[in-house]
Amino acid sequence: MGLRSEIFEQPEVLACLLKDRMVDVEAITGAIRGHKVDFVLLAARGTSDNAALYAKYLWGAFNRLPVGMAAPSLFSVYNRPPALKNALVVGISQSGQSPDIVNVISEGRRQGAPTLAITNDPHSPLAMAAKFVIDTSAGSEQAVAATKTYTAQLMAIAMLSVALNEDADRREALQRVPALVEEVLATEEKIEQAAVSYRDMAQCVVLGRGYDYATAFEWSLKLKELAYVVAEPYSPSDFQHGPVAILSAGFPVLAIMPKGAVFPDLLALLSELIDRHKVRLLVLSNDDEALALAERSLRLPSDLPEWLSPIVSVVPAQLFCYHLTRAKGYDPESPRGLTKVTRTW
């Protein structure tokens, strides 16, 4: 089983997660309500850190929870952990093996905070350290680059948000996500054509805002670890505070821009970048004006809710990176210098 196969497993993985784990998630949220939780502290690394970024936006927007990212070295190297009174401490890790993430959860539990692990291994050190566990149940992931485990983490985060609010309409929207991912996967031929046209790309910026700020980070990570492209993720606002100076004619700009609250500002910026800098633009969008603006465009489903867009929009980005890697003559199954599990302290 290879990377492409695991990308195509995602609709089934997401459907099974919704079917088999929603009861567990509702039980966990019921228990969390028994604690005074004023904020969430998240600990993660790599791809899981990008999933945590989605949680920061989603739980903030819908659950009104301030969300911060842990600095794991405070818990390990410096042995100076912050006070965690009234915190929900969450660790996100595909393998659950990284000692620094486990340390954060262990310290949270020592201080009496409710602790939650979101992991693909319910028997991992991270799961053993946490009071509550959401098993993402993605099955064995053999490819070094995480794909189905990432979208399963995003789905678990969304399920937790919906269960905390006991929101029937949003729960119904969750049920449509596997079919939306199937819809995107059906466009593989066009995604491959776009990737081949970018086979000479050595550097780029990836723009995303709001919920899809996480997608910008994940797309850029996959470009780095698979195709060895120097890809930097930015929000449009941060990009205009200095980094825009790197642009020149033909510079590749990749953007995730589904319809929603942040769409108009991103569209205005990209229009300016084309007019002023003559950039080479690739967009993921479900808006016709945005699709027409770009040199290459990849269409997202028209009925995609903005708050769920990262679970769907990352899938064409994954396929783009897979086909770009092959077009460059590299092996997507064996990225240089990487292993499946990384243990950091």
Tokens matching residue 295: 């040199």
Burial of residue 202 (CB within 10 Å: 0-12, 13-18, 19+) is exposed
Q: What is the torsion angle, in degrees rounded to the nearest 10, for the CA atoms of residue 304, residue 194, residue 143 and residue 204?
A: -90
Res. 344: pLDDT tops 80: no
**pLDDT range class, residue 335, cuts 50, 70, 90:** confident
Give the residue-averaged pLDDT of 305-317. Answer: 98
pLDDT tens for each residue of 123-176: 999 999 999 999 999 998 888 889 999 999 999 999 999 999 998 999 999 999
181: nearest Cα among 152, 141, 221, 211: 152
Res 142: pLDDT:
87
Res 151: pLDDT:
98
Element (H, E) at 134: strand 132-135
Give the residue-averaged pLDDT of 90-98. Answer: 93
- In the CATH scheme, what is the code of domain 184-327? 3.40.50.10490
**Cα 54 from Cα 216, distance rounded (Å):** 11
**Which has more pLDDT, 338 or 72?**
72
How many Å from the N-terminal Cα to the C-terminal Cα in the chain?
31
Tokens matching residue 329: 């003559």
Dihedral (CA of 221, 5, 199, 270) sign: negative
Do 3-175 and 184-327 show the same overall fold?
Answer: yes
Res 1: pLDDT:
66
**pLDDT range class, residue 195, cuts 50, 70, 90:** very high
Res 340: pLDDT:
43
Question: By the 8 A CB rule, do 159 and 51 touch?
Answer: no
Res 339: pLDDT:
66
- For domain 3-175, say whether CATH 3.30.590.10 is its number: no
What is the share, in percent, of the chain residues with pLDDT greater than 70?
Answer: 97
Question: By the 8 A CB rule, do 115 and 130 touch?
Answer: yes
Give the residue-averaged pLDDT of 99-110. Answer: 95
Q: What does the domain layout of the chain look like in residue ranges?
A: 3-175, 184-327
Question: By the 8 A CB rule, do 150 and 340 touch?
Answer: no
**Cα 55 from Cα 73, distance rounded (Å):** 21
Give the residue-averaged pLDDT of 106-132. Answer: 96
Reported residue count of the chain is: 345
**Which has more pLDDT, 140 or 43?**
43
Res 49: pLDDT:
96
Q: In which order are the strands placed within the sheet that holds 87-93?
A: 67-69, 39-44, 87-93, 115-119, 132-135
Question: By the 8 A CB rule, do 50 and 154 touch?
Answer: no
- Helix, strand, or coil (residue 317): helix
Res. 252: pLDDT tops 50: yes
Average confidence score pLDDT of the chain:
94
Cα 303–chain centre separation: 20
**Cα 41 from Cα 91, distance rounded (Å):** 9
| pTM for this model (two decimals) | 0.96
